[in-house]
Amino acid sequence: MDYYQRACELKGETVANRRYFHTNAEVGLNCDKAKAYVMEKLTEYGIEPRDCGHGVVATIGASSPVILLRADMDALPMPEESSEPFACPDGQHAHACGHDGHTALGLGLAALLRREAADIKGNVRLLFQPAEEGVRGAASLIQQVLGARWFLAVHLGLGAPESGALVAGLSGFLATTKFDVRFTGRAAHAGLAPEAGRDALRGAAEGLLALHDLSRDGAGRVNVGLLSGGTARNIVPDQARMSCETRCADREADNALLARARALLARIAWERELELDISIQGRAGCAASDPELARLLARTALELPPDPDGRQPFAPDKVRAEGLMKASEDAATLMEAVRLSGGCRPRPSLSLKSSSSSWRPPSSSASPCRSASSSRSLPVCASS
């Protein structure tokens, strides 16, 4: 029996795992239910998980080279409208970006590889990451990817929205910075003494329009996704908040655009006699999949045998080695870290015996990894 057929046997388990994550959708860094479930399942499969702050790491094999596969666990802060029986019931969170599927696939791979651990030539490291949305989770897990020869991440949908489609490698990831802006002024009665107030909401409104004007030169773009402020219609607003992001073709351009945004907002605050606070919420750089590894993955996908029902897993006309990703991905931070620590070369050689075929990464703020016994609680350079 080959590995693909064994993976097909895990279909029921994988579907059940995915539906658990879907029902129990969580956002941000604190994916506590997902993390606990992942650690419980890994232990059940005979793998000792390591608690790495907000994430989980599991290692199968004990030698070099190291291939690392990342699965993200977080959902989006939005209500679900699917009406599926396993929909998230809280009305506030939804797995609308497929991360429930990513985590379920990661657990399925762990179960499969654990059975064949003795046959693995090399070391497979599985990383379960929170807070991909907002590009906040990867930076705290950089230490877990250093020393890896190859890094792979997977994403359902996007450039391969149809069943049977596969894009083995991607380029075009946009550098991005997510930042929050807070203007603080002085409240006053809008009828009796408006001149005594300092209108923070007006300053934020001016900032919103000015930030969007920064995109006109084509060097990148700024989006203000949220603007709020004030307390009542007859009170000069003393507080205003904006949630913003930049998107640029490279890290240097993103740094420059962020600096211009800071200067612009500081000028408005000075002119309006407002206090200004800008806080960075997340950052990710640019990356592109290793072409050679992407071609290898595409060829391997086409060589897979039919499933038990006789269906080919991937349609030949729907498999591409390269694709373009005009968005941002937290995996890019980990891709850059792997490359800067010497990954991606030489050509991949990790296998199973019976198979055929100018930016510094941010420092880690996560707590040291702990084994499960001390806590109860696809690139590399390829992405698909």
In this prediction the pTM is 0.85
Q: Who's near 163: CB < 8 A, 6+ residues apart?
A: none
State the Cα–Cα distance between residues 323 and 309, nearest whole angstrom.
Answer: 30
> What is the rounded distance in angstroms from the CA atom of residue 284 to the CA atom of residue 263?
21
Radius of gyration of the chain (CA): 23
Q: Which residue has the higher pLDDT, 351 or 342?
A: 342
* Calculated CA dihedral for residues 32, 37, 42, 44, nearest 10 degrees: 140
CA distance 33 to 21: 8
Average pLDDT value for the chain: 87
For 86, which DSSP code?
T
3 state DSSP class of 261: helix
pLDDT for res 234: 98
Cα–Cα separations (whole angstroms), residue 48 to 42, 72, 180: 7, 19, 38
Binned at pLDDT 50, 70 and 90, residue 20 comes out as very high
375: pLDDT strictly greater than 70: no
Looking at this protein, which amino acid is placed at residue 24?
N
pLDDT at position 369: 52
What is the per-residue pLDDT across 356-365, written as a single tens digit (0 to 9) for each?
A: 333 333 443 4
d(CA 125, CA 90): 33
Place 164 in a pLDDT band, splitting at 50, 70 and 90.
confident
Report pLDDT digits (tens) over 248-306: 999 999 999 999 999 999 999 999 999 999 999 999 999 899 999 999 999 999 999 88
3-state DSSP call for residue 355?
A: coil
Contact present, 123 and 353 (Cβ < 8 Å):
no
Burial (0-12, 13-18, 19+ Cβ within 10 Å), 208: middle
Beta-carbon count within 10 A of 201 CB: 19
Across 230-234, average pLDDT: 97
Q: Environment class of residue 313 by beta-carbon count within 10 Å: exposed (0-12), middle (13-18) or buried (19+)?
A: middle
* 104-119 as b/e: b if 16+ CB within 10 A: bbbbbbbbbbbebeee
Q: DSSP string covering 302-325, please? A: HHPPP-TTS--SS-GGGEES-EE-
Give 129-150 pLDDT, tens digit per residue.
Answer: 999 999 999 998 999 999 899 9
Residue 211 contacts residue 224 (beta carbons within 8 Å): yes
Task: For residue range 177-202, list pLDDT tens digits in order.
Answer: 999 999 999 999 999 999 999 999 99
Cα dist. 142→146, 252, 339 in Å? 7, 21, 12
Rounded Cα distance between 284 and 223, Å, is 16
Q: Do the beta carbons of residue 95 and residue 26 sit within 8 Å?
A: no
Place of tokens 């990894």: 369
